[in-house]
Every structure is written in C-alpha cells, then in structure tokens.
Amino acid sequence: MIKKKTTFGILAVTAAALFSCQLTAQEGSNRGERKGPPSFEMLLEKMDANEDGKLSEEEVKGPLKKDFAKVDLNEDGYISEEEFDKAPKPKRREKNQ
C-alpha cells in the first residue's frame, strides 16, 4: 500500500513539474516577441508623441533614428507610412551558432 502511494506521489510531482515547465515555455513566447520588423502602426503607437500620424526625427529612436535620412525619402523631416513602406529594409543579422 505504501509503495503504491509513493509511486503515485512521484508520478504526481513529475507531472506537475512537466506542466509547470510547459507553461513557462509558453509564457516566454508571448512576451511581445515578434517575428520581423515592426509595422508603421506599432511605431506610431510607441513614438508619435504629437499624434500627427507621422514620425519626426526628434520622435524616433533606435535604428530608425540612425537611418532617418534613408527613410525620409522626400526629405521633409517626417516619415510617413508611405515612406516607411518604400524605405530600404535593414539586413538581417546572422545568428551565432
């Protein structure tokens, strides 16, 4: 009888541990990690401080700030959705294996 309870206990703990690991792995994939570059809408949500539907050089940050002149095709000081869609896409970094 004790052997059956011990075996059941070990199985229950193992199942709980496996279930817990599975939940943790799934949470990691839902942390806002996206595949591919952000959309223009996502950039507007994060960076368009004055909510005018375009991005000025003062509003942008990160790699977009560095490449602002390449993306601002008409050189008016703003990036519109049309310019963003037509802009040259950055090269993908190679993963280290």
**What is the residue extent of each domain of the chain?**
1-29, 40-86
Q: What is the pLDDT of residue 61?
A: 92
CB 55 within 8 A of CB 79: yes
Rounded Cα distance, 67 and 61, in Å? 10
pTM: 0.57
Task: Per-residue pLDDT tens, the chain, 97 aa: give them.
Answer: 676 667 765 755 565 555 555 544 444 455 556 577 789 999 999 999 999 999 999 999 988 899 999 999 999 999 999 999 998 776 666 666 5
Report the b/e string of 75-90 with b at 16+ CB within 10 A: eeebbbeebbeeeeee
